[in-house]
Amino acid sequence: MEPSGVAGADRRARARGLRAEAWTLAEIAAELRVARSTVSVWVRDVPFTPRPRRVGDRRPHPQHLARLAEVERLRAEGLTQIGALSERDLLIAGTALYAGGGAKTGGAVAFANTDPRMIELFLRFLRATFAVDEQRLRLRLYLHEGLDLDSAQVFWSEVTAIPLGQFLKPYRAVPDPSRRAARHVMGCASIRYSCSMTLRAILGLCDALLD
């Protein structure tokens, strides 16, 4: 495995190279010591052709193969059903996302999550729906002590397109000794946009959706 000090950009490039060599998401995640969801974001546009099974490899259990096939089938069905999001689709999806997990008080738009796809979707909604002043966007990273802070900050900067200079001081949490390994090696990203008018507008959308 690569050392934890490898820069985030290098890990991303390594992940893309491994994906091009037909490594699975799980294999790449284990090799680079990052979450599978993180790998998924890094390599989502890299063509992937599964490796053929080698002679002598242990044959997977039929139930395991059936489950994998079902997961892939349902994922493909989901992609077909959702398709490309229209502006209205994005408005509704982003509103629902914020209604479920966004801050409702405090005078600022705030949304936090460990899943980079959720953060990306929220920012797509925010930027598409409102005239966002990019310089007022802030990101605070919540990361357990002992994990690679520099790599995590580079990773979230790439995901969000928020410059590192606009990152707030990170919060370093003490790891839970009852867990053998951290579940979220890139931590939790908290996005903050200080604009009370935008917050009121989003809350209005939330009320309209929920009513």
Instruction: Tell me: do 97 and 181 sit in the same domain.
Output: yes
The torsion angles phi and psi of 171, rounded to 5 degrees, stand at -100, 125
Q: Are residues 66 and 108 in the same domain?
A: no
DSSP one-letter code for 170: P
- Is residue 171 in some structural domain? yes
Answer yes or no: is 59 within a domain.
yes
| One domain, residues 102 and 205 | yes
Residue 1 located in a structural domain: no
CATH number of the domain where residue 168 is located: 3.30.1330
Domain final residue, candidates 82, 109, 126: 82
Amino acid at 118: M
Domain that holds residue 202: 87-210
* Full pLDDT tens readout for the chain, 211 residues: 333 444 567 788 888 888 888 888 888 888 888 888 888 888 888 887 776 666 566 666 778 778 888 888 888 888 888 888 899 999 999 999 999 999 999 999 999 999 999 999 999 999 999 999 999 999 999 998 888 899 899 999 999 999 999 999 999 988 766 665 556 788 999 999 999 999 999 999 999 999 9
Asked if residue 132 and residue 73 are part of one domain, the reply reads: no
The pLDDT, as a whole number, for residue 54 is: 60
Q: Is 209 helix (H, G, I), strand (E, B) or coil?
A: helix
Please indicate, yes or no, if residue 149 is contained in any of the structural domains.
Answer: yes
Question: Which of 18, 49, 82 is at the close of a domain?
Answer: 82
With contact defined as beta carbons under 8 Å apart, do 149 and 141 qualify? Answer: yes
Q: Are residues 75 and 91 in the same domain?
A: no
Tally of CA atoms within 13 A in the half-sphere of 31 that contains its CB: 15
Q: Is there a single domain that holds both residue 122 and residue 204?
A: yes
For residue 194, is it within any domain?
A: yes
Q: How far apart are the C-alpha atoms of 170 and 183, rounded to whole Å?
A: 18
Domain boundary among 23, 50, 82: 82
Residues 95 and 69 in one domain: no
Task: Based on the fold, state whether residues 114 and 44 are members of the same structural domain.
Answer: no
Give the total number of structural domains in the chain: 2
Report the pLDDT value the prediction gives residue 74, as an integer from 0 to 100: 86
What pLDDT was estimated at residue 6?
45
Q: H-type helices in the chain, by residue range?
A: 8-20, 25-32, 36-42, 62-82, 87-101, 116-129, 149-160, 196-210
pTM given for the model: 0.71
Q: Is residue 153 part of a domain?
A: yes
Scan for tokens 């997977």, then name that residue.
60
Report pLDDT for 84.
87
93: how many CB neighbours lie within 10 A of its CB?
Answer: 16
Which pLDDT value is given to residue 19?
Answer: 87
Residue 26 lies in a domain: yes
> Do 77 and 105 lie in a common domain?
no
What amino acid occupies position 66? Answer: A
152-195 pLDDT tens trace: 999 999 999 999 999 999 999 887 666 655 567 889 999 999 99
pLDDT for 10: 79
Residue 65 covered by a domain: yes
Whether 109 and 192 map to the same domain: the answer is yes
Give yes or no: residues 96 and 200 share one domain. yes
Neighbour-count burial of 12, counting CB atoms closer than 10 A to its CB (0-12 exposed, 13-18 middle, 19+ buried) = buried
Identify whether the C-beta of residue 3 lies closer than 8 Å to the C-beta of residue 151: no
36, 127: one domain: no
